[in-house]
Amino acid sequence: MGAVARTGQDGAVTTTRKRSDRQPAERLPVARVCVDVPLPHLDRPFDYLVPAEFADDAQPGTRVRVRFAGQLVDGWLLARAESSEHGGRLAYLERLVSPEPVLTPEIARLARAVADRYAGNLADVLRLAVPPRHARAEQAPAAPADPATADAATEVAASADTATGDGATEDPATAGTASIASADAATDGAAATALTDEGKLVETLAEGWRDYPTGPGFLRAVAAGRAPRAVWSALPGEEWPVRFAEAAAATVAGGRGVVAVVADARDLARLDAALTAVLGPGRHVALSAALGPARRYRAFLAASRGTVPVVVGTRAAMFAPVERLGLVAIWDDGDDLHAEPRAPYPHARDVLLTRAQLADAAVLVGGHARTGEAQQLVETGWAKEIAATRETLRGRTPQIAPTGDDPQLARDPAAATARLPSLAWQAARAALKADTPVLVQVPRRGYLPSMSCEDCRTPARCPHCAGPLALRSSQSTPACQWCGRVAAAYACPHCGGRRLRASIVGARRTAEELGRAFPGVPVRTSGRDEVLSVVPGGAAVVVATPGAEPVAEGGYGAVLLLDTWALLTRADLRASEEALRRWLSAAALARPASAGGRVVVVADGGLPPVQALLRWDPGWFAARELAERRELGFPPAARMASVTGLPPAVADLLAAVRLPEEAELLGPVPAGEDQERMLVRVTRSRAAALARALHEAAGLRAARKASQSVRIQIDPLELF
Partner DNA sequence: TCAATCCGTATC
Partner DNA sequence: ATACGGATTGAC
Q: Which residues of this protein are in contact with DNA, per CB under 7 A?
A: 39, 41-42, 46-49, 66-71, 84, 86, 88-91, 703-705
Q: Using H for helix, E for strand and C for coil, what is the string for 350-397?
A: HHHHHHHHHHCCEEEEEECCCCHHHHHHHHCCCCEEECCCHHHHHHHC
Nearer to DNA, 195 or 703 (CB): 703
Least distance to DNA, CB of residue 343, Å: 18
SS3 labels along 263-319: CCHHHHHHHHHHHHHHHCCCCEEEECHHHCHHHHHHHHHHHHCCCCCEEEECHHHCC
- Tally Cβ neighbours within 10 Å of residue 485: 14
Give the nearer residue to DNA in terms of CB position, either 95 or 370.
95
- Compute the least distance from the CB of residue 702 to DNA, in Å: 7
Rounded CA gap, 68 and 45, in Å? Answer: 12
Alpha-carbon gap, residue 314 to 128, rounded angstroms? 13
CB of 294 to DNA, least distance (A): 31
User: Which CB atom, from 31 or from 178, has the smaller least distance to DNA?
Assistant: 31
Contact call for residues 309 and 257 (beta carbons, < 8 A):
yes
Which CB atom, from 9 or from 707, has the smaller least distance to DNA?
707
How many C-beta atoms surround the C-beta of residue 380 within 10 A?
16
CB closer to DNA, 17 vs 41: 41
Is 612 in a helix, a strand, or coil? helix
Which letter, b or e, does each residue of 17-43 get, where b requires 16 or more Cβ atoms within 10 Å of its Cβ?
Answer: beeeebbbbeebbbbbbbbbbeebbbb
Residue 49 Cβ, how far from DNA at the closest point, in Å? 7
Half-sphere exposure of 258 (CA within 13 A, CB side): 30
Cβ proximity to DNA: between 92 and 345 the closer is 92
Burial class (CB in 10 A: 0-12, 13-18, 19+), 153: exposed
Of 28 and 560, the one with the shorter C-beta distance to DNA is 28
Nearer to DNA, 41 or 630 (CB): 41
Minimum distance of DNA from residue 80's CB (angstroms): 14
Task: Supply the minimum distance, in Å, between the C-beta of residue 100 and DNA.
Answer: 23
Question: Among positive and negative, which fits the CA dihedral 68, 47, 100, 18?
Answer: negative
Does residue 228 contact residue 179 with C-beta atoms inside 8 Å? yes
Considering the complex, state which of residue 84 and residue 426 has its C-beta at the smaller distance from DNA: 84
Nearer to DNA, 41 or 445 (CB): 41
Cis peptide before 236 (omega within 30 of 0): no
**CB of 76: closest distance to DNA in angstroms?**
14
Interaxial angle between packed helices 575-587 and 618-632, expressed in degrees from 0 to 180 and rounded to the nearest 10: 170
Considering the complex, state which of residue 48 and residue 616 has its C-beta at the smaller distance from DNA.
48
Q: How far is the CB of 562 from DNA (least distance, A)?
A: 53
> H or E segment at 113?
helix 105-117
The nearer residue to DNA, 29 or 635, going by C-beta atoms, is: 29
Asked whether 345 and 339 are in contact (CB, 8 A), the reply is yes
3-state class (DSSP) for residue 65: strand
- How far apart CA 488 and CA 490 sit, in angstroms, is 6
Q: Which residues pair with 30 in a beta bridge?
A: 49, 81
Question: 565 near 505, Cβ under 8 Å?
Answer: no
**What is the C-alpha to C-alpha distance for residues 573 and 102, in angstroms, rounded to an integer?**
40
Residue type for 293, please? P
Name the residue nearer to DNA (CB basis): 126 or 364: 126
- Beta bridge partners, 542, equal 439, 524
Of the pair 38, 670, the CB lying nearest DNA is at 38
Angle at 590 between CA 587 and CA 596, to 5 degrees: 130
Task: Name the minimum Å distance from CB 641 to DNA.
Answer: 24
Rank residues 21 and 631 by Cβ distance to DNA and give the closer one.
Answer: 21
For residue 44, the minimal CB distance to DNA (Å) is 8
The C-alpha atoms of residue 301 and residue 537 are separated, in whole angstroms, by 40
| Least distance from DNA to the Cβ atom of residue 72, Å | 10
CB-wise, 38 or 292, nearer to DNA?
A: 38
Q: Pairing relation of β-strands 558-561 and 438-441?
A: parallel
Largest CA distance in the chain: 95
CB of 78 to DNA, least distance (A): 12
CA distance linking residue 150 with residue 60, whole number of Å: 8
Calculate the alpha carbon distances from 505 to 55, 181, 417, 448, 467 in Å: 65, 50, 12, 10, 20
* Cα–Cα distance list, 507 to 390, 489, 546 (Å): 35, 30, 10
Q: Smallest gap, in angstroms, from Cβ of residue 95 to DNA?
A: 14
Contact, 486 vs 387, CB < 8 A? no
> Residue 54 CB, nearest distance to DNA (Å)?
15
CB of residue 20 to DNA, shortest distance in Å: 16
Compare residues 689 and 700 and give the one whose CB is closer to DNA: 700
Q: How far is the CB of 81 from DNA (least distance, A)?
A: 11
DSSP-based three-state secondary structure for 382: coil
Tell me the torsion sign for CA atoms 98, 104, 105, 111.
negative
Query: Smallest distance from the beta carbon of 283 to DNA, in angstroms?
Result: 43
